Structure 1
Amino acid sequence: MISWHQIRFGLLVFTGCSLLIFLGKSIFFPHVANQESISKYTFPDRITLAGWEPLDSQPLNNKYPQPPKLVSSRVYQYRQQTITLTIEMRYTVEKGGNLIEFVKEYTPSQISSLGTAAREDRYQESTGFYTLFTSNNQAYLVSCINPRGSSTITAQQFNSNRYKYDLELPRLVSWLMGTENLRDLRCLWTQLSIPLQKLPQKKAYSLLESAWIEWYKWWYPHFPKV
């Protein structure tokens, strides 16, 4: 005869296995909660950047076919004396923070400049990870602003943020209520660039880093809401 303890143990095992399967599916095959709010976002027309005079901003005229995970994009231009700074912003969902994949999909002409010997990966405590490189007589700084956690340039860094910040109790409650995904795979891909005609590379990198810190400071609290 089957005892009550055996029945209870069986139910606990079944419930535990079901929960593990559900968690695994949510982690590795996440659906997009609040799809309507995620898929509709408009970048602001104007953003103040300390030390730079704003010139113009407009929707980004993408040169290459864009993946469906791109929600919105915009390009901003600023001036400091005779130097022009261009900032391209792309808001993506379900793509993660892999720099090489980003460049292949959005700016493939730069892929040859992203070998480990050609680029400089750096870290600032106030922002996170970013990379610097040159291509076609331009200096670039590229990074992924995360919804939570510091900026990233590799899938490993991005996933580390997801496991560290996305599994906090308030988000778990939202996930159980169906208002948020368990893992938030959104990213604000940020690309800053300066022409090298009038500047040595070291000076250009310094200007890009200073602008990046101010840009990140504005965007982190203004990351698109779900």
Structure 2
Amino acid sequence: FEENVPLSQWQSVETKRLKPLPEPDTEGSILKVGRFYQYRQDDRVLDVKMRYVVRTRGEVQKFIQDQLKKDKEESNTDKKNEKKLQVKEGYEPDVGHYILLSDTDRAYLSSCINPRGETTFSQDQYKHNQDIYDTEFSRIFPALLGREKWRDDRCLWTYMSMPLNGSTPEEAYKVLEAAWWDWHEWWQPNFPKL
């Protein structure tokens, strides 16, 4: 992944590689390389974790559950202090679908940037996107010649978060959405090759 990804109105603070995750024992998504990016805008901090996912079915909800569990373990949150998540779906034309979440401390946005078409967060959205964009006539010959897979099972799973710091989840969602649209606009044409 690129070390520096510009986001309008944000200053890049830190970037580092994410530790590789073990491959699953069963068939399913493999979260390959990843990178952590941190940005600052006045007193706001935006954290972005992104992983290159192969063999996916677009199950972002599972990725989020696993990430939240990992975050909880890292912060040593016990069962009594578990935070209830609020969940909201979002859609932006020419970008796609994403999911917004918040607890008492942070707001989150997550989705998969696909090689073609819209962003998705559910398996149904992912399959629908594949049905539309992976079956275009222009892809027949590259697929027959073995240059491309007919069904492209990759995505860039993005997990953005920011502290609420006294703002409401709705206010934080607006900030996350604006950053997400910039993020998508940069990555869609720069989608890494396999």
TM-score by length of 1: 0.73
Q: Secondary structure, in 3 states, of the residue corresponding to 2:125?
A: helix
Partner of 1:67 in structure 2?
23
Conserved 8 A contact 1:144-1:151: yes
> What CA distance in whole angstroms lies between the structure 1 residues aligned with 2:193 and 2:131?
20
> What CA distance in whole angstroms lies between the structure 1 residues aligned with 2:103 and 2:2?
28
> CA offsets, 1:56-83, max 9 Å, x none?
1001247xx5435122100100000011
What letter corresponds to residue 169 of structure 2 in structure 1? Q
Offset at residue 135 of structure 1 (A): 3.4
In structure 2, runs of 5+ residues without a counterpart are: 25-29, 73-81
Conserved 8 A contact 1:66-1:106: no
Determine which of 41, 56, 59 is the counterpart of 2:14.
Answer: 56
Q: Secondary structure, in 3 states, of the residue corresponding to 1:203?
A: helix
> What CA distance in whole angstroms lies between the structure 1 residues aligned with 2:53 and 2:180?
19
In structure 1, runs of 5+ residues without a counterpart are: 1-42
Structure (1/2) with the larger helix percentage:
1
Identical pairs, percent: 37
Partner of 1:126 in structure 2?
94
Partner of 2:169 in structure 1?
201
Residue 68 of structure 2 is aligned to residue 100 of structure 1: no
> What CA distance in whole angstroms lies between the structure 1 residues aligned with 2:83 and 2:132?
31
> What CA distance in whole angstroms lies between the structure 1 residues aligned with 2:178 and 2:17?
24
Decide whether aligned partners of structure 1 residues 59 and 200 sit closer, same or farther in structure 2, where only a CA change above 3 A counts: same
What letter corresponds to residue 126 of structure 1 in structure 2? D
> What CA distance in whole angstroms lies between the structure 1 residues aligned with 2:157 and 2:87?
17
What letter corresponds to residue 59 of structure 1 in structure 2? R
> What CA distance in whole angstroms lies between the structure 2 residues aligned with 1:181 and 1:154?
21
Q: Secondary structure, in 3 states, of the residue corresponding to 1:174?
A: helix
What letter corresponds to residue 72 of structure 1 in structure 2? V
Conserved 8 A contact 2:107-2:173: yes
Offset at residue 122 of structure 1 (A): 1.0
Q: Secondary structure, in 3 states, of the residue corresponding to 2:167?
A: coil
Decide whether aligned partners of structure 1 residues 134 and 109 sit closer, same or farther in structure 2, where only a CA change above 3 A counts: farther
Q: Which aligned pairs between 1:1-226 and structure 2 lie closer than 5 A?
A: 43-61=1-19, 65-67=21-23, 69-108=30-69, 118-135=86-103, 137-226=105-194
Conserved 8 A contact 2:84-2:103: no
> What CA distance in whole angstroms lies between the structure 1 residues aligned with 2:44 and 2:135?
43
Structure 1 or 2, whichever has the larger Rg, is 1
Offset at residue 144 of structure 1 (A): 0.6
Offset at residue 110 of structure 1 (A): 7.4
TM-score by length of 2: 0.85
Structure (1/2) with the larger strand percentage:
2
Decide whether aligned partners of structure 1 residues 110 and 98 sit closer, same or farther in structure 2, where only a CA change above 3 A counts: farther
> CA offsets, 1:53-110, max 9 Å, x none?
1101001247xx5435122100100000011001110101011212222224444357
Deviating 4+ runs (over 4 angstroms) = 109-115
Offset at residue 114 of structure 1 (A): 8.9
Aligned CA RMSD, in angstroms, stands at 2.2
